[in-house]
Amino acid sequence: MLLEGILVTIVGAATPIILAAIGELVVERSGVLNLGVEGMMIMGAVVAFGVSLSTGNPYLGVIAGGLAGVAMALLFGVFTVYLASNQVATGLALTLLGLGLAGLIGESFVGTPGVRLEAITIPLLSSIPFIGPALFDRDILVYLSFAVVAGVSYTMFKTRVGLILRATGENAEAAHALGRDVRLIRMGAVAFGGLCAGLGGAYLSLVLTAQWTEGMSAGRGWIALAIVVFATWLPWRALAGAYLFGGVIILQLHAQAFGIRVPPQAMTMLPYIATIVALVLLSRNQATMRRNTPAALGRAFVPDR
């Protein structure tokens, strides 16, 4: 029962990271680097909480959280895709904007009980020992996270749409010469990334805690960014990476519960230490990095140049 409970909590901790990471993976495959994932997640969290609290319907909150992420992403897209501003600086500004704006919007929500997104039990499958409760007795966003990973993986490597997206991320000028609207493709990818980040934020305030606290994203957007690199821009590796880091996050909680004498600050550092170690180890394999890194990542595209 203990291991089953740990698996349940790992799935919960990993789900918002999966959603944010898979969205950012699509964005980066199009050649755009969006460092504003943290800002989009926190805006998704506060808007989802506010809408679900005011309507009493958490599903409307989920939709609103996703749309809040899209709105933030489109703001980023206008500046970077159409105005060719620096992607790194604009992404950082988006994170700061999201954190500040979310704190302002959510000031009146602090200490207010939220509306929790209830679990949807899948008959028979939920009765499977050990994995049943963890995977098949969950809320809709957990199921959606698996569906999004599978859908992105299939679309990216098995369809014409995915081929065009990857071509845009590899050589935007060549894609433009073949008649593709590079900026429209990139804006679509950016909007999708914002939707996923907003849904990840909605999970935080409607499932993981069912309340609003300022800064509740707690660096998960940055971990999602690291996981994209850790996964070498491959969807199923991103899923595995998110569960790995979700396990590290839960480890700190269970270690404290078991009375392990480790300073709580050190345990809080664990996910970020794991992120740094994973990236350092991965960077040693230069062949893998070169093979999968989008060649045009972070480079602005202007059609008349």
Instruction: Give the tens place of pLDDT for each residue, 29-87.
Output: 999 999 999 999 999 999 999 999 999 999 999 999 999 999 999 999 999 999 999 99
Specify the pLDDT at position 232.
Answer: 87
Average pLDDT for residues 282-304, to the nearest whole number? 78
For residues 85 and 77, give the distance between their C-alpha atoms in angstroms, rounded to a whole number.
10
Specify the pLDDT at position 279.
Answer: 67
Which tokens sit at 271?
């996910």
Specify the pLDDT at position 133.
Answer: 84
299: left (phi over 0), alpha (psi -120 to 50) or beta: beta
Specify the pLDDT at position 90.
Answer: 96
Amino acid at 37: V
For residues 202 and 61, give the distance between their C-alpha atoms in angstroms, rounded to a whole number.
7
Specify the pLDDT at position 39.
Answer: 96
Average pLDDT for residues 174-186, to the nearest whole number? 93
Picking from 68-77, 220-229, 251-260, 288-297, which range would have the lowest pLDDT averaged per residue?
251-260
**SS3 letters across the chain:** CHHHHHHHHHHHHHHHHHHHHHHHHHHHHCCCCCCCHHHHHHHHHHHHHHHHHHHCCHHHHHHHHHHHHHHHHHHHHHHHHHCCCCHHHHHHHHHHHHHHHHHHHHHHHCCCCCCCCCCEECCCHHHCCCCHHHHHEECHHHHHHHHHHHHHHHHHHHCHHHHHHHHHHHCHHHHHHCCCCHHHHHHHHHHHHHHHHHHHHHHHHHHHCCCCCCCCCCCHHHHHHHHHHHCCCCHHHHHHHHHHHHHHHHHHHHHHHCCCCCCHHHHHHHHHHHHHHHHHHHHCCHHHHHHHCCCCCCCCCCCCC
Instruction: Give the pLDDT band of residue 266 (cuts 50, 70, 90).
Output: low
Q: Where are the domains of the chain?
A: 2-118+129-292
* Residue 176 CB contacts under 8 Å (≥ 6 apart), including other chains: 182, 301, 303
* Residue 135 CB contacts under 8 Å (≥ 6 apart), including other chains: 11, 125, 142
Q: Which residues of 264-273 are buried (b: 16+ CB within 10 A; e: fewer)?
A: eeebeebbee
Contact of 165 with 189, CB cutoff 8 Å: yes
Q: With 70 as the cut, is the pLDDT of residue 234 above it?
A: yes
Burial class from Cβ neighbours inside 10 Å (0-12, 13-18, 19+) for residue 1 reads exposed
Pick the more confident residue, 91 or 279: 91
Pick the more confident residue, 252 or 86: 86
Specify the pLDDT at position 42.
Answer: 97
Instruction: Give the pLDDT band of residue 304 (cuts 50, 70, 90).
Output: confident
Q: Which residues of 81-100 are buried (b: 16+ CB within 10 A; e: fewer)?
A: beeeeebeebbebbbebbbe
Q: What is the pTM of this model?
A: 0.91
Q: With 70 as the cut, is the pLDDT of residue 168 above it?
A: yes
293: left (phi over 0), alpha (psi -120 to 50) or beta: beta
Q: With 70 as the cut, is the pLDDT of residue 260 above it?
A: no
For residues 205 and 170, give the distance between their C-alpha atoms in angstroms, rounded to a whole number.
37
Q: Does domain 2-118+129-292 have CATH number 1.10.3470?
A: yes
Contact of 233 with 294, CB cutoff 8 Å: yes
Specify the pLDDT at position 19.
Answer: 96
Q: With 90 as the cut, is the pLDDT of residue 202 above it?
A: yes
Instruction: Give the pLDDT band of residue 261 (cuts 50, 70, 90).
Output: low
Instruction: Give the pLDDT band of residue 288 (cuts 50, 70, 90).
Output: low
Q: With 70 as the cut, is the pLDDT of residue 256 above it?
A: no
Specify the pLDDT at position 271.
Answer: 67
**Token pair 């709105």 is at which residue?**
71
Average pLDDT for residues 94-106, to the nearest whole number? 95
Pick the more confident residue, 260 or 304: 304
Phi, psi of 281 (to 5 degrees): -65, -40
Specify the pLDDT at position 208.
Answer: 87
Which tokens sit at 118?
């209830």
Pick the more confident residue, 269 or 12: 12
Specify the pLDDT at position 183.
Answer: 95
